[in-house]
Amino acid sequence: MAISFEGQVALITGAGGGLGRAYALELARRGAKVVVNDLGGDPHGRGADAAPARKVCEEIEALGGEAIPNFDSVASYEGGYNMVKAAIDKWGRLDIVICNAGILRDVAFHNMSEDDWDAVFAVHVKGTFTVLRAAWPVFRQQSYGRVVLTSSASGIWGNFGQANYGAAKTAMLGLMNVLKQEGAKYNVMVNTIAPVAGTRLTATVMPPELVERLKPDYVVPAVVYLVSKECTDSGLIIEAGAGRFNRAAIVQGPGINAGLEEVKTAEWVQEHWKEITSLEGAILRWSTQMTLDQWLQQRAAQQAKQ
């Protein structure tokens, strides 16, 4: 059955171009009403322009859809509130938030300024907090919400020259892992996309033919599914783009449970390094409570043996 967003309202940050625009158009095509947020600055987060968000709203209207622009910066708490309020004032609900706005300030770590660090964290980390913090009470009240956060291969695997960006993008995984738990009982699913696409951000590192070939459209199906009511998974990292779709995950190796009877030495760790660092038989952890539960179970089993 076709996935439909009829009767639903979506807020997409940074939707004036690139990936955000592609998400906005496809959700609108499938019936969603859309708040198109975009500050309209340059790829490094300087300046502002209302034109990109306006233009995407016009494109949506030309398709027969409904959209309103918002020009606030996600980095401002008031801005996050305003964009959520725009959805509620206009349509009385908010079902979907895609935190997509982003900038780059790439520079090798030894040359990274405080401003390069702060600017990237303001948009990616605080900018995700401001919007979700405003949307969260709405989701709880509706007992419904679908959230996609935007990470990056840089945050999951690392990329030279992107210490600020990589750290900010890894923060999305920490935020997701907490919000998937806090949202679970309100039917709020929180997942993360790590996209690859030719956009003005990647135009700085990709050859022009690749920018042209790797259209944001190749990422869109994954994000559209993740924000649909059909998707009831939460806490997943999905890498998508350039024709690929896969899951990435943080796993826990079996390690060694050395018990509490005796505090081990660094030499003991050195001696057992292979087993400690082995990922053979690694498992996924859904929540920190599971980690604690397993530890308590192991302790109970040990005590029963004694």
Ligand X SMILES: NC(=O)c1ccc[n+]([C@@H]2O[C@H](COP(=O)([O-])OP(=O)(O)OC[C@H]3O[C@@H](n4cnc5c(N)ncnc54)[C@H](O)[C@@H]3O)[C@@H](O)[C@H]2O)c1
65 belongs to the binding site for ligand X (CB under 6 A) = no
> Which tokens sit at 242?
């350039």
Q: How far apart are CA 69 and CA 54, in angstroms?
A: 6
End-to-end CA gap in the chain:
57
Q: How far apart are CA 268 and CA 256, in angstroms?
A: 11
Q: How far apart are CA 81 and CA 76, in angstroms?
A: 9
Tell me, residue by residue from 243 to 282, as one string, x for binding to ligand X by CB under 6 A and - for no binding: ----------------------------------------
Burial 236-275 (b: 16+ CB within 10 A, else e): bbbbbbeeeeeeeeeeeeeeeeeeeeeeeeeeeeeeeeee
For ligand X, give the closer residue by CB, 43 or 183: 43
Q: Is 144 a catalytic site residue?
A: no
Residues 6+ apart with CB under 8 A from 58: none
Interacting span for ligand X (CB under 6 A) from 28-36, 55-63, 98-106, 141-149 = 98-106
Site for ligand X in 114-173 (CB under 6 A): 123, 127, 150, 152
For ligand X, give the closer residue by CB, 69 or 183: 69
Among 27, 39, 132, 138, binds ligand X (CB under 6 A): 39
What residue has token string 């998400």? 23
For ligand X, give the closer residue by CB, 144 or 172: 172
For ligand X, give the closer residue by CB, 103 or 238: 103
Q: Where does this chain bind ligand X (CB under 6 A)?
A: 13-14, 16-20, 37-41, 43, 45, 52, 73-75, 100-103, 123, 127, 150, 152, 195-197, 199-202
Residues marked as catalytic: 165
